[in-house]
Amino acid sequence: MNIKKFIYKYILKRKYYRTGQCNRCGDCCSKIYVYHKKGIIKSEDEFLSLKNLHPFYTYLEITDKDENGLVFKCSKFDKENHICTIHKLRPGICRRYPSEILLKMHGVMSEKCGYKFIPIDSFKDVLNKLNKTKKYQKNNLDE
Ligand code: SF4
Ligand code: SF4
| Residue 103: band (very low, low, confident or very high) from pLDDT cuts 50, 70, 90 | low
Name the pairing type of β-strands 83-84 and 77-78.
antiparallel
pTM, rounded to two decimals: 0.78
110 lines ligand 2 (CB under 6 A): yes
- Residue of the CA atom closest to atom 7 of ligand 2: 22
Distance from residue 72's CA to the centre of ligand 1 (Å):
11
> What are the tens digits of pLDDT across the range 24-72?
999 999 989 998 887 899 999 999 988 888 889 999 999 999 998 999 9
Looking at the CA of 32, name the nearest ligand: 1
Kindly give the number of the ligand 2 atom that is closest to the alpha carbon of 109. 1
- Nearest to residue 67, comparing CAs of 35, 42, 47? 42
